[in-house]
């Protein structure tokens, strides 16, 4: 099947390689049963963004991950540009770190600590990949959450569309 679109990049060898979007954006899909790398208990992915001027905090997070001795088959560090798409939008100008950790009590404790560090650095936790952050941390790192809450209350007063994430993080309260 031909790719829907292509991405181009220049490898270290200096020649241009053309790949389909699927291969470029979903490299793990080429590894059969990649999700079994984490064992039967699965994994958690932690992702945060911190402002550029707080890159030392990100370095401290990486040191904490290394010191924990919890192997991660996948870790990604990227630079994000400015821009937000909504009241609860994750992107902000800064550096983002994503790391996968096998689902253990130690890794869950580590992820909670990393989330607190991101909050203290003026950053955010990526809600689409989160299952461990607490409501206070999230509300403290998304400055427009009250505006979102007010729009949600007006649009859905019966809470018929309220998600488990919204309930877990207590995002529709007056806190």
For residue 12, pLDDT over 80 is answered with: no
Question: How large is the average pLDDT for residues 128-157?
Answer: 93
Number of H helices, E strands in the chain: 6, 6
Measure Cα distances from 138 to 20, 30, 104, 106 in Å.
Answer: 36, 34, 22, 21
> Which CATH code, of 3.30.70.890, 3.10.180.10, 3.30.70.260, 3.40.50.1440, is assigned to 38-169?
3.30.70.260
CB contact at 8 A, 141 and 89: no
Three-state secondary structure call for residue 147: helix
pTM of the full structure? 0.80
What is the predicted pLDDT for the residue at 11? 61
Q: Is 132 exposed, middle or buried (0-12, 13-18, 19+ CB in 10 A)?
A: middle
Please, where in the chain does CATH 3.30.70.260 lie? 38-169
Question: E strand or H helix at 46, and its extent?
Answer: strand 43-50
Return the half-sphere exposure (C-beta side, CA atoms, 13 A cut-off) of residue 79.
Answer: 4
What is the predicted pLDDT for the residue at 3? 45
What is the predicted pLDDT for the residue at 53? 95
Cα 145 from Cα 135, distance rounded (Å): 11
Q: Is 99 exposed, middle or buried (0-12, 13-18, 19+ CB in 10 A)?
A: buried
Question: How large is the average pLDDT for residues 49-62?
Answer: 94
Q: Is 103 exposed, middle or buried (0-12, 13-18, 19+ CB in 10 A)?
A: middle
Question: How large is the average pLDDT for residues 135-164?
Answer: 94
Cα 7 from Cα 23, distance rounded (Å): 9
């Amino acid at each position: 099947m031909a790719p829907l679109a292509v991405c181009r990049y220049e490898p270290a060898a200096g020649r241009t390689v053309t790949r389909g979007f699927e291969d470029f954006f979903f490299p793990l899909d080429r590894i059969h049963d990649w999700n079994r790398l984490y064992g039967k208990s699965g994994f958690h992915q932690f992702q945060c963004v911190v402002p550029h001027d707080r890159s030392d905090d990100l370095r401290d997070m990486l040191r904490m991950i290394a010191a924990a001795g919890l192997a991660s088959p996948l870790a990604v560090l990227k630079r994000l540009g400015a821009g937000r798409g909504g009241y609860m939008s994750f992107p902000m100008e800064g550096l983002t770190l994503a790391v996968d950790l096998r689902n253990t009590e130690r890794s869950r404790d580590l992820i909670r600590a990393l989330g607190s560090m991101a909050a203290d650095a003026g950053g955010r936790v990526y809600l689409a990949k989160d299952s461990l952050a607490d409501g206070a941390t999230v509300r403290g790192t998304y400055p427009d959450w009250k505006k979102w809450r007010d729009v949600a209350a007006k649009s859905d007063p019966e809470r018929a569309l309220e998600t488990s994430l919204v309930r877990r993080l207590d995002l529709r309260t007056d806190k």
